[in-house]
């Protein structure tokens, strides 16, 4: 009986050693996400989005968005789906040129989700009458890591700051 137990122990030890030697080598860094690399990737995708928006390169801009991307702008219902947004943005860019300049204020990554909080200044020029409008505001973009490791926008919410004269009025009436 002792020899059977001993033989079983030897067999299990050899089988474990064989299985361990066939598994891919892992170290501690494989278990810890590379947050710095993820933050750099999010910064890059935001910059690509800015370049593509300002250049009205909507095909490239859509590549940065998940199929079911949700845009939540001020004073309107949420809009779902990048194809719907592409059509709306094409109509917008046919009548306006825009220079959107965000300032990233915070980036966070947790697992496969990341968010970017920014303030922005946008200078919009009407292609119809040449009117120039400067808008300041803020935005939060939520991105999700895809199965291939890339990041895509899944939700964006933005709104405008109060115009300077309204801001002065708000500040003067605050307690």
Residues 36-54: pLDDT tens digits?
999 999 999 999 999 999 9
Residue position matching structure tokens 């890059």: 44
What was the pLDDT predicted at 168?
Answer: 41
What is the mean pLDDT of the segment spanning 105-119?
95
CA distance 31 to 47: 29
3-state helix, strand, coil in the chain (%, to 5): 45, 35, 20
In sequence order, the 6+-apart residues with CB closer than 8 A to the CB of 93 are 56, 58
pTM: 0.73
What was the pLDDT predicted at 163?
Answer: 72
Question: Domain 34-162 is in which class?
Answer: alpha beta
């Amino acid at each position: 009986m002792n020899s059977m137990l001993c033989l079983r122990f030897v067999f299990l030890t050899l089988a474990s050693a064989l299985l361990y030697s066939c598994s891919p080598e892992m170290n501690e860094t494989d278990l810890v996400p590379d947050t710095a690399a993820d933050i750099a990737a999010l910064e890059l995708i935001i910059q690509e989005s800015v370049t593509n928006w300002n250049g009205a390169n909507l095909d490239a801009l859509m590549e940065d968005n998940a199929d079911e991307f949700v845009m939540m702008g001020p004073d309107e219902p949420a809009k779902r789906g990048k194809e719907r947004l592409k059509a709306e943005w094409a109509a917008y860019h046919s009548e306006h040129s825009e220079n959107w300049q965000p300032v990233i204020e915070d980036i966070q990554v947790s697992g496969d989700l990341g968010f970017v909080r920014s303030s922005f200044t946008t200078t919009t020029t009407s292609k119809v009458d040449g009117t120039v409008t400067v808008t300041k505001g803020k935005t939060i973009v939520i991105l999700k890591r895809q199965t291939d490791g890339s990041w895509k926008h899944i939700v964006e919410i933005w709104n405008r700051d109060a115009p300077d004269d309204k801001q002065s009025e708000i500040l003067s009436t605050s307690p």
